[in-house]
Amino acid sequence: MKKVITYGTFDLLHQGHINLLRRAKELGDYLIVGVTSDSFDRGRGKLNVRNNVLERVEAVKATGYADMVIIEDYVGQKIDDIQKYNIDIFAIGSDWEGKFDYLNEYAKVVYLPRTQGISSTMLRAETISDVRIGVIGCGRIANRFPSEADVVSGLKVVAAFDTNQSAARALASGIEQCKVCASAAELYSMVDAVYIATPHLSHYQYIKEAVNAGLHVLVETPMVLDGNQAKELFELAEKKGVILMEANKTAHCPAFNHLMVMIKSGVIGEVVDIEASESKLWSSNMSLREFDAKQAGGSFYELGSYTLLPIIKLMGCNYDNMDIYSRMENGVDMFTRGVLRYPHATCSFKVGMGVKTEGSLVISGTKGYAYVPAPWWKTDYFELRYEDQNKNQKYFYKWDGEGLRYEIQEFVSCIVNRRFSTSRLRRRESVCMAEIMQSFTERKNFFEI
């Protein structure tokens, strides 16, 4: 018996898919169809898929050509499947010509003619057009945004604004048809969403303006440095029916996300202690905003929202006490250590711009601990360790490019699916971070060292 296998997303199943499946079936006696899982598609940037995996599997089955349907969930699975199911022919549409030649080692690769004039992308575009986004604040962080947005479908950077026009021009020059706006108001008038990457203290005003203009907002972390402002902005966004999301890239990092879910499901028992550190030693060039007290410079405002993230995600917002120890220079903290006491746990974080420390994350539990080596805030790897070392496990993930693509994907997904809050970083968690920043500003339980 000649066995054939083919793969695809098969979203909004159309005539092109049906022809492909028929031709694939004609190549042999038994056809296996691999349908991509939702998370696998999201992971490779295909986040605007309309039908969920069950609907897509049902649609493939309904064509009558598939003898068996399987789910494709990871890179490299094709080789495993070919061997596991004893496949003779791997078939795929001609749009992939040459891309799967490496599989010839395992099965005969056949590229089948693609049906002209139809695709899922076309069908999706007929109903929803790309989200047009404008970048406000075209400095260092924002410069990474266009190339990352480029790999996310359903989004197009169309405008840029910066009080320094040359920065906006530089950012826009690399993007096709991106308008350099003379004012933020001009930018608001031509987009559906904004990405705000201006200095911290200007976030509040820009968010408020954009939300009032009916725009979705992705804003760099820390969103604001005041809990009441954070609450007010989230309420306003919900009232206006727009998405407001804090762009904390660690929250969207695939490895970090999986770690959080695993720990919540009890793999290291009850969490008793968390230690999170991040340091970035910069030569203290006083002209930089990061070293300017008047512009909310300093280690904690700069890095604190990353180190607070695992603490707040795992232990929640209701700590009993927080003490903060900082080493100050010219009014900014070059190093800060915070200790949070919860009813049954302690958590500490360290951030440094003028002190170097091991940037690791250790989460200790009653049955074992999780260790994420530096740079844990953009990790592709972590370990679970136990008393019995034979039980230790290592986990590897993908971390592509600058990592902003994951938060951009989630932002677009929230817009398309009208989700106001994302489990990756809940609104209340963003509010809690802003409250902690505020208590630092107010020097509550603060000790200078």
Q: Which stretch binds ligand CTP (CB under 6 A): 3-11, 141-149, 331-339, 392-400?
A: 3-11
Q: Check residue 115 for interaction with ligand CTP (CB under 6 A).
A: yes
Cis peptide preceding 222, ω within 30 of 0? yes
Among 3, 4, 5, 9, binds ligand CTP (CB under 6 A): 9
Q: Check residue 52 for interaction with ligand CTP (CB under 6 A).
A: no
Helices and strands: H and E segment counts in the chain = 15, 20
Q: Check residue 154 for interaction with ligand CTP (CB under 6 A).
A: no
Alpha helices in 223-369 (DSSP H): 227-240, 249-252, 254-264, 299-315
Backbone angles phi, psi at 265, to 5 degrees: -90, 5
Residue 233: CB partners within 8 Å, gap ≥ 6?
204, 207, 208, 211, 223, 224, 244
Q: Check residue 20 for interaction with ligand CTP (CB under 6 A).
A: yes
Q: Which stretch binds ligand CTP (CB under 6 A): 6-14, 76-84, 178-186, 418-426?
A: 6-14
Closer by beta carbon to ligand CTP, 49 or else 362: 49
Closer by beta carbon to ligand CTP, 19 or else 441: 19
Q: Which two structure tokens, joined as six digits, stand for 24?
A: 């694939």
For residue 348, the cross-strand partners are 275, 339
Element (H, E) at 415: helix 404-417
How many angstroms separate the CA atoms of 50 and 14, rounded?
A: 13
Q: Which stretch binds ligand CTP (CB under 6 A): 4-12, 131-139, 166-174, 415-423?
A: 4-12
Q: Check residue 10 for interaction with ligand CTP (CB under 6 A).
A: yes
How many angstroms separate the CA atoms of 4 and 23, rounded?
A: 11
Q: Check residue 114 for interaction with ligand CTP (CB under 6 A).
A: yes
How many residues of this chain interact with ligand CTP, rule: CB under 6 A? 16
Closer by beta carbon to ligand CTP, 121 or else 205: 121
Taking CB under 6 A as the rule, which mask of x and - marks residues 80-99 in contact with ligand CTP?
Answer: ------------xx-x----
Q: Which two structure tokens, joined as six digits, stand for 202?
A: 């200007």
List binders of ligand CTP among 117-136 (CB under 6 A).
118-121
How many angstroms separate the CA atoms of 76 and 25, rounded?
A: 23
Residue 20 beta carbon to ligand CTP: minimum distance, rounded to whole angstroms: 4
Which residues form the interface with ligand CTP (CB under 6 A)?
A: 8-11, 16-17, 20, 92-93, 95, 114-115, 118-121
